[in-house]
Structure 1
Amino acid sequence: MDGEKLQKIAGDCTGGLPGADLEHRPDWELHKVRGKVFMLMTDLPGRPVVVLKADPDNAVALREQYADITPGYHMNKRHWITVEGGGTVDEKLVKELVLDSYRLVVGGLPKSQQPVDPRTYGHHD
């Protein structure tokens, strides 16, 4: 998938997330929940990318497994990943990564501010 399709899928994903807001900055799109960023979108030279929060252990595994996932651009490299369009990333993975990022950020909020239970939200078991 190309980078534009990647950003569209990721952006569509956040639309239905409880408490999620979109903020536009020059060259950046910030997706937040209760004021905390869980996804950023920008264009690196010629490459639209999505930057997401990830569990540090998961982030390492993802970077090893997928050529199109690299350390977080302009963010803490341990806790954030950059996803590019490319052959190794599919729609299902993008949606999972967006949801994981959202849950991680929600999980860091005070319980009274959590719009959903981060341990159960989006799990279909």
Structure 2
Amino acid sequence: MNIEQVRDHCLAKPGATEGFPFDEDTLVFKVGGKMFLLISLSAAGSFNVKCEPELAVELRERHPEVKPGYHMNKKLWNTVDITGALSDKQLKEMIDQSYLLVFAGLPKKVQAEINTSKP
């Protein structure tokens, strides 16, 4: 999976937006104003995604490509190498899980606004 594929997959999610809130290099994807994925433009070999704490640990134990989130809350975020042995399907599942986890934490009103704005 490359950065363009990551970007396309993220922006296909209802209510997803992209921006550079930290610097010119870190592309951040949000839903309802909350981050669900970060990726560096200059070092696009990995991304950070949010994860349920138990699943985060399980993924790290099973896959050497999954590490505690770099510069993130290590309990809730993983840094995932997208150039390794993980399949595109596995990477997309991690992105989807992150999006759904963040979406579920949004206020019901915001969730409803996003759901009604779907094409």
TM-score by length of 1: 0.81
* Alignment deviations for residues 81-119 of structure 1 (CA, whole Å, 9 cap, x no partner): 001134321100111011100000011111110124xxx
TM-score by length of 2: 0.85
- Secondary structure of 2:86's counterpart equals coil
Q: How many residues align?
A: 111
Cα distance in 2 for residues equivalent to 1:27 and 1:108: 27
Match for residue 103 of structure 2 among 102, 106, 110: 106
Match for residue 52 of structure 2 among 51, 55, 61: 55
Contact 1:53 1:101 in 2 (8 A): yes
Once the two structures are TM-superposed, the CA of residue 76 in structure 1 deviates from its matched residue by 0.1
Once the two structures are TM-superposed, the CA of residue 10 in structure 1 deviates from its matched residue by 1.9
Matched residue type, 1:69: V
Matched residue type, 2:15: G
Corresponding residue number in structure 1 for 2:38: 40
Q: Does the alignment pair 1:28 with 2:30? A: no
Matched residue type, 2:84: G
Match for residue 64 of structure 1 among 61, 68, 77: 61
> Tell me, which stretches of 5 or more residues in structure 2 are unaligned?
none
Q: Identity over aligned residues, as a percent?
A: 37
* Alignment deviations for residues 23-51 of structure 1 (CA, whole Å, 9 cap, x no partner): 0232200000111000000168x662110
Once the two structures are TM-superposed, the CA of residue 6 in structure 1 deviates from its matched residue by 3.7
- Secondary structure of 1:18's counterpart equals coil
* Alignment deviations for residues 39-66 of structure 1 (CA, whole Å, 9 cap, x no partner): 000168x662110000000000000111
Matched residue type, 2:9: C
- Secondary structure of 2:45's counterpart equals strand
> Tell me, which stretches of 5 or more residues in structure 1 are unaligned?
117-125
Contact 1:28 1:40 in 2 (8 A): yes
Corresponding residue number in structure 2 for 1:14: 10
